Structure formats: structure tokens, C-alpha cells
Amino acid sequence: MAEPIKAEIFGSLPGGDVVEAFDLKGPAGLSARVITLGGIVTHLRAPDRRGDAADVVLGFNNLAGYLAPHPYFGAIAGRVAGRISQGRFQLDGREYSLACNDPPNHLHGGDRGFDKRLWNSEPLDRADGAASLRLSRLSADGEEGYPGNLRVSVIYTVTAANELVIETEATTDRPTPVNLTHHSYFNLAGEGSCSVESHQLQVFAGSYAPADAASGLTGRREPVTDNDLRTPKRLGDVIPNLRGRHGDLYFIDRAAPAGLVDVARLVDPASGRAMTVRSTETCVQFYTGVGLDGTLVGKSGRKYGPFAGLCLECEGFPDGVNRPELGNIVLRPGEVSRHTTVYAFSTL
Ligand code: FUC
């Protein structure tokens, strides 16, 4: 039987609440550190082809870093991850308006989304001995303008196959849009070491959701063009051709409506680290990290500039409450929303 994972104190919030940290270690070399603020993965260490581990996610060493403004490093984004156009939606005849915290749109749940909340923690005792942590919280009716008391949980597990598995679950007492994602910035060469332009990325998607200059979703679904990543491409060659060098929201190719499918594969040829992303979700937001401007200093004391890390955010169609034809994200009482996303590490 594996040792149960233990809480350490990561820091205290200004109001006095304690933020805990948990280390999830796998027997094959992958290890994750998760904190109860925002469900943030602060560290994720993965071996390279020689067996040397590096921390492959951007982040900070201390709580102060996470309490200051930062672009959702490692967090769980919600209640609705991604952008709701103009911060407005109608549901069952009622009009709702949300914070337009990424003008003119609502982004990642608003001014104080799930990434800035303290979650309850419960280490899980799994039959296979894998290190596993359940985080949960009640997002009260009216929080950030959303209707309904939403009970939400996220289970992080590090497996013997060097996978970080993220399982989400949500229930509500009133109809509400729900769209959760995990927002790590990956750099398979090790955080702070170089730009991800040297990485190769493959995304298993033949169509995407065009966005306007402010990244608002236009409500269309179109075949991929310059952003076609169905065959692996070096990011340094691709990024200049992307809208605002930002990356797009892709509709994941899937033969059946449900089940885990391959979403993306990221490779760092130099270290030999590879990451395969699988998910039950319908979409993935590839974000290049273009907005990193060198003002944030990360764990190793180095500045995070443009493309210091990239995100592969598996999620539903963020504006699905306004455009159900592209993917409905409304959860109703009596239903359970369940999703799984897997970040699987290997070497070549
Ligand atoms: C991703 C991007 C957004 C934003 C945020 C910090 O979700 O899609 O544009 O920059 O991260």
C-alpha cells in the first residue's frame, strides 16, 4: 500500500485561511505539486530521455506569486473557462450579465473565478496505490453572476504510467453554464529554459472556432487553414501565421460523441520529452503564451517572455450557452457533468 499523501502548509491568505500543498509522486518519475488555491499545479516534474527530471510547467515558488496578477498559471478555470462573448447570455428566458474582465468579453469565470478560490482537499486512497487528491468546492448561487449552487470537484492523480489525470465533476440546483479546464503552461525543456518555439505540436482537429481581434468567438466553425496541426509542426514555423500569434480553439476530431480521444501531442526534440493529451472534452484551446511579456519571474528566477510555455486547455465550447449548436455547456439539476483529461508523459 502506498503512503497516503500529506498536506504541507504553502502559505496563508490575507484573511488567515491556510493554503495547503500536496505532492503526488508516481513510481515512474512523474511528480506533481498541487495547492488548494485555485487547484493550481505549481510543479510538474517529468524525466527526459536520460531519466533526468525537469519541472515542465510555469509557476511560482511561493504563494505571493499566485496572489499577484498572473495569467492563470496551472489553475482550474471556471465556472466557464474561455470567453463568453460580451459577458452576456440568456437561459430559460432570463438574461444574465457577467464581468467583462477581458474586455469586451467574460474570461475564465470572471473577476474571481475558480482559479482564485480556496478548495477543500481530500487525499484519496486508490486501489492501485496511485497518488490522488480530490479538491472540491461549492460555487454559490450568484457567484460571479452565474445562476445555481454548483458543487464541483477535481481529482488529480499521478499514475504509474507517468500520466497526470484530471477528472472533473459538477452538479447544480439550477440550470447554469459549466465549462472547466486545466490551465498549465507547459515547457518540456523545463520552465524558464527556452521558448516553446523549438517544440513540435500536433493537434488532432480538422476544424476550429475563428475568433475576432479581441479573441471573442465569432460563433462559426471552419476547417483549419494556416493553423492546421494534424501533422506535427515546429511551433517556431507555425506561430507567426496564427491570429495574433495567439493560438486557436479547436474542435477535437472524434468518431464517437463520448470517451477519451487523443487531443494533442507535444514533443521537445532536445530533451526527448513528449506529452500526449487525451480528453473526453469536445474542444481544446491551444494558447501559445504570446501574452507573457517578461514581467513575471518564475520558479527558477528567470523571466517568462513570449512563448515561455504553452497551454492545451481541454474544455467544452466556451460560448456554448449562446451558441448551443457548437456545443451546449448548460448543466441542469439532476444531471452530472463529468470529464477526464490526461497529460501523459513519455520520452523518445
Ligand atoms: C488562454 C487564452 C487567453 C488568455 C488566457 C490567459 O486561455 O486563450 O487568450 O490569454 O489564457
Distance 287 CA to ligand 1 centre (A): 6
Nearest CA to ligand 1 atom 4: 71
> Are 21 and 33 a contacting pair, CB within 8 Å?
yes
Average pLDDT over residues 150-174: 98
> Are 279 and 340 a contacting pair, CB within 8 Å?
yes
Confidence of residue 256 (pLDDT cuts 50, 70, 90): confident
DSSP type of residue 314: E
Give how far the C-alpha of residue 202 lies from the chain's centroid of Cα atoms, to the nearest Å: 18
Q: What is the pLDDT of residue 2?
A: 62
Confidence of residue 257 (pLDDT cuts 50, 70, 90): confident
Helix residue ranges per DSSP H, 239-322: none
Confidence of residue 258 (pLDDT cuts 50, 70, 90): confident
Q: Domain spans of the chain?
A: 7-347
What is the CB < 6 Å shell around ligand 1? 71-72, 215, 285, 287, 291, 311, 313
Give how far the C-alpha of residue 153 lies from the chain's centroid of Cα atoms, to the nearest Å: 15
Residue 247 alpha carbon, nearest atom of ligand 1: 8
> Are 35 and 10 a contacting pair, CB within 8 Å?
yes
- Cell 504553452: give the residue: 310
Comparing CA positions, the residue from 156, 248, 255 lying closest to residue 201 is 248
Measured CA to CA, the distance from residue 224 to residue 43 in angstroms comes to 33
Distance 92 CA to ligand 1 centre (A): 29
Beta-bridge mates of residue 41? 34
Q: Residues with Cβ < 8 Å from 95, sequence gap 6 or more?
A: 88, 89
Residue 108 alpha carbon, nearest atom of ligand 1: 7
Q: What is the pLDDT of residue 321?
A: 97
State the cell numbers at 42: 505549481
| pLDDT tens figures, 2-60 | 667 999 999 999 999 999 999 999 999 999 999 999 999 999 999 999 999 999 999 99
Q: Which amino acid belongs to residue 348?
A: L
Q: Which of these CATH numbers, 3.90.1170.50, 2.70.98.10, 2.30.40.10, 3.30.413.10, describes 7-347?
A: 2.70.98.10
Q: Residues with Cβ < 8 Å from 184, sequence gap 6 or more?
A: 41, 44, 57, 58, 73, 74, 309, 311, 343
State the cell numbers at 183: 490551465
| pLDDT tens figures, 203-232 | 999 999 999 999 999 999 999 999 999 999
* Run of H or E including 236: helix 235-238
